[in-house]
Structure 1
Amino acid sequence: MADRPPASSPQMGAGRIRQLEGRSLQVAMWGNLFMAVAGIVAAILSNSIAILTDGLFSLIGFTAAFLGRRISQNVEAGPDRLRPMGYAADEALFATFRALSLLGLVFFAVASASMNIYKFLSGGTPPQLVFAPLMIYFVLIGITCFLLWALHHRTWSRTGKSSDILRLEAKASMFDGIITAAAAIGLGAVYIFRDGFLAPIAPVGDSIVVLVLCLFVVGQYRRDLMSGMSELAGVTASPASLATARRAIRPAIAEHGGTLVDLSVIKLGRSHLVTAYYDPGQPITASRVDGINLQMIADVRTELPGADVHLIISEHPRRWPDEISPF
Structure 2
Amino acid sequence: MDAILEICEMQDYDTDRKKRLESRSLSVAMWGNLFMAAAGLVAGLLANSSAILLDGLFSLIGFGSALLARRISRRIDAGPDNARPLGYAADEAIFVTFRAISLLGLLLFAVTNAIRNIYNYIGGMIPEPLNFAPMITYFTGIGLTCALLWSFHYFTWCKTEKSSAILRLEAKAALFDGLITVSAGAGLGAIYLFRDGPLAPIVPVGDSVIVLLLCLLAIGSYAREFRGGLGELAGVSASPAHLATARRALRSAIAEDGGRLQDMSITKLGRTILMMVYYDPGRPVSAAEIDSLNLRMIRDARTTLTNADVLLVISEHPRRWPDELSPY
Counterpart residue type for residue 38 of structure 2: V
C-alpha RMSD of matched pairs (Å): 1.3
- Is there any run of 5+ residues in structure 2 with no aligned partner, and where? 1-9
Match of residue 273 from structure 2: 272
What TM-score do you get using the length of structure 1 for normalisation?
Answer: 0.95
Equivalent position of 1:143 in the other structure: 144
Corresponding letter in the other structure for 1:167: R
1:116 positional shift: 0.8
The one-letter code matched in structure 2 to 1:320 is: W
CA 196–12 in structure 1, closer or farther in 2 if over 3 Å, else same: farther
> 1:39 and 1:302 mapped to 2: Cα distance?
45
CA offset digits 1:246-304 (Å, max 9, x no partner): 11111111111111000001011111000000011111111111111111011101111
Once the two structures are overlaid, the 10-residue window that deviates more, 60-69 or 155-164, is 155-164
For 1:324 and 1:14, the matched residues in 2 are separated by 43
More divergent stretch after superposition (29-38 vs 315-324): 315-324
Pair 1:14 & 2:15 matched: yes
Task: Give 1:118's aligned residue.
Answer: 119
| CA-to-aligned-CA distance 1:6-35 (integer Å, 9 cap, x gap) | xxx979622222111111100100000110
Q: Distance in 1 between matches of 2:287 and 2:17?
A: 36
Distance 1:249 1:79 in 2: 24
- The answer for the alignment partner of 1:228 in structure 2 is 229
Task: Tell me the residue number matched to 1:248.
Answer: 249
**Distance in 2, Cα, partners of 1:298 & 1:274:** 13
Q: Residue 199 in 1 paired to residue 203 in 2? A: no
Paired amino acid for 1:123: G
Which residue in 2 is equivalent to 1:132?
133
| Distance in structure 2 (CA, Å) of the matches to 1:118 and 1:323 | 64
> Normalising by structure 2, what TM-score?
0.95
Aligned to 1:287: 288
- Aligned length, in residue pairs: 319
Equivalent position amino acid for 1:152 in 2: H
Q: Following the alignment from structure 1 to structure 2, what is the Cα–Cα distance between the partners of residues 20 and 280?
A: 42
Output one character per residue of 1:42-73: Cα deviation in whole Å (capped at 9) or x when no partner: 11001101111111011111111111111111
Output aligned runs, 1:50-199, within 5 Å.
50-199=51-200
Unaligned runs of 5+ in 1: 1-8
The 3-state SS of whatever aligns with 2:98 is: helix
Q: In structure 2, the residue corresponding to 1:201 is in which secondary structure? A: helix
Q: CA deviation at 1:209?
A: 0.3
Match of 1:260 in 2: 261
Instruction: Report the 3-state secondary structure (helix = DSSP H, G, I; strand = E; otherwise coil) of the residue aligned with 1:261.
Output: strand
Kindly indicate which of the two structures has a greater share of residues assigned to helix. Answer: 2
Helix, strand or coil: the match of 1:200?
helix
How far apart are 1:157 and its partner, in Å? Answer: 1.4
Q: How far, CA to CA, are the matches of 2:90 and 2:245 in structure 1?
A: 21
Q: Give, in whole Å, the separation in 2 of the partners of 1:253 and 1:90.
A: 32
Identity of paired residues, percent? 62
What SS is found at the alignment partner of 2:236?
coil
C-alpha spacing 1:12/1:183, structure 2 compared with 1 (3 Å): farther
Q: Which has the higher contact order (CA 8 A, sep 6+)?
A: 1
The one-letter code of the counterpart of 2:95 is F
How far apart, CA to CA, are the structure 1 residues paired with 2:188 and 2:207?
Answer: 7
SS of the counterpart of 2:218?
helix
- Matched residues in 2 for 1:10 and 1:278: separation? 26
Find the counterpart in structure 1 of residue 25 from structure 2. 24
Tell me by how many angstroms 1:305 deviates.
1.3
For residue 174 of structure 1, report the CA deviation from its aligned partner: 0.9
1:233, distance to aligned residue in structure 2 (A): 0.5
What SS does structure 2 have at the residue aligned with 1:273? strand
Q: Deviations over 1:101-145 (max 9, x none)?
A: 000000000011111111111111101000111111100100000
Compared CA separation, residues 260 and 232, structure 1 to 2 (3 A): same
